[in-house]
Protein backbone atom coordinates (compact mmCIF):
# COMPACT_ATOMS: atom_id res chain seq x y z
CA UNK A 1 0.00 0.00 0.00
CA UNK A 2 1.10 3.54 -0.72
CA UNK A 3 2.68 5.10 2.43
CA UNK A 4 1.20 8.48 1.41
CA UNK A 5 -2.29 7.09 2.04
CA UNK A 6 -1.49 6.39 5.68
CA UNK A 7 -0.84 10.09 6.29
CA UNK A 8 -4.23 11.27 4.97
CA UNK A 9 -7.22 11.18 7.27
CA UNK A 10 -10.73 10.49 5.98
CA UNK A 11 -11.60 14.11 6.80
CA UNK A 12 -8.76 15.31 4.55
CA UNK A 13 -9.97 13.07 1.72
CA UNK A 14 -13.46 14.52 2.09
CA UNK A 15 -12.03 18.05 2.00
CA UNK A 16 -10.13 17.21 -1.19
CA UNK A 17 -13.19 15.69 -2.84
CA UNK A 18 -15.28 18.74 -1.88
CA UNK A 19 -12.87 20.85 -3.95
CA UNK A 20 -13.74 18.90 -7.11
CA UNK A 21 -16.45 19.90 -9.55
CA UNK A 22 -19.84 18.18 -9.13
CA UNK A 23 -19.09 15.97 -12.15
CA UNK A 24 -15.73 14.94 -10.67
CA UNK A 25 -17.36 14.29 -7.29
CA UNK A 26 -19.95 12.07 -8.99
CA UNK A 27 -17.14 10.18 -10.73
CA UNK A 28 -15.37 9.63 -7.40
CA UNK A 29 -18.61 8.45 -5.80
CA UNK A 30 -19.40 6.12 -8.69
CA UNK A 31 -15.89 4.65 -8.65
CA UNK A 32 -15.95 4.05 -4.90
CA UNK A 33 -19.41 2.51 -4.98
CA UNK A 34 -18.48 0.30 -7.90
CA UNK A 35 -15.44 -0.96 -6.02
CA UNK A 36 -17.27 -1.41 -2.71
CA UNK A 37 -20.46 -2.93 -4.03
CA UNK A 38 -19.39 -4.34 -7.39
CA UNK A 39 -22.78 -5.38 -8.68
CA UNK A 40 -25.22 -2.51 -9.31
CA UNK A 41 -28.21 -4.73 -8.61
CA UNK A 42 -26.82 -5.41 -5.12
CA UNK A 43 -26.31 -1.67 -4.68
CA UNK A 44 -29.89 -1.01 -5.82
CA UNK A 45 -31.20 -3.55 -3.29
CA UNK A 46 -29.23 -1.78 -0.54
CA UNK A 47 -30.64 1.58 -1.62
CA UNK A 48 -34.15 0.16 -1.70
CA UNK A 49 -33.80 -0.99 1.89
CA UNK A 50 -32.09 2.13 3.26
CA UNK A 51 -32.88 4.99 0.94
CA UNK A 52 -36.07 4.23 -0.93
CA UNK A 53 -37.86 7.30 0.42
CA UNK A 54 -34.99 9.48 -0.79
CA UNK A 55 -35.06 7.79 -4.18
CA UNK A 56 -38.83 8.35 -4.37
CA UNK A 57 -38.24 12.04 -3.73
CA UNK A 58 -35.44 12.26 -6.33
CA UNK A 59 -37.52 10.39 -8.89
CA UNK A 60 -40.49 12.71 -8.34
CA UNK A 61 -38.20 15.71 -8.62
CA UNK A 62 -37.20 14.42 -12.07
CA UNK A 63 -40.75 13.62 -13.16
CA UNK A 64 -40.81 9.88 -12.39
CA UNK A 65 -43.03 7.80 -10.13
CA UNK A 66 -40.59 5.47 -8.34
CA UNK A 67 -43.31 2.95 -7.49
CA UNK A 68 -44.39 2.59 -11.12
CA UNK A 69 -40.83 2.01 -12.41
CA UNK A 70 -39.76 -1.58 -13.01
CA UNK A 71 -36.31 -2.77 -11.86
CA UNK A 72 -34.73 -1.96 -15.23
CA UNK A 73 -36.09 1.60 -15.17
CA UNK A 74 -35.01 2.04 -11.55
CA UNK A 75 -31.48 0.89 -12.39
CA UNK A 76 -31.42 3.26 -15.37
CA UNK A 77 -32.55 6.16 -13.17
CA UNK A 78 -29.91 5.42 -10.51
CA UNK A 79 -27.31 5.04 -13.28
CA UNK A 80 -28.30 8.48 -14.58
CA UNK A 81 -27.91 9.91 -11.08
CA UNK A 82 -24.41 8.49 -10.85
CA UNK A 83 -23.18 9.23 -14.36
CA UNK A 84 -24.78 12.59 -14.96
CA UNK A 85 -24.81 13.87 -11.37
CA UNK A 86 -28.44 14.93 -11.59
CA UNK A 87 -29.25 17.40 -8.79
- Tell me the pLDDT tens digit for each residue of 64-79: 999 999 989 998 898 8
**DSSP class of residue 67?**
G
At CA 63, angle to CA 49 and CA 59, rounded to 5? 15
Cβ–Cβ < 8 Å for 77, 64: yes
Q: What digits encode the pLDDT tens for the residues 39-61?
A: 667 767 776 777 778 888 889 98
Check whether 86 has a pLDDT greater than 50: no
The mean per-residue pLDDT over the stretch 7-24 comes to 91
Check whether 25 has a pLDDT greater than 70: yes
Amino acid sequence: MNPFLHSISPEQVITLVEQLTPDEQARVLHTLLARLIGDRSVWLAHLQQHGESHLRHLAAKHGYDWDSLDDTARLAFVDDLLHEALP
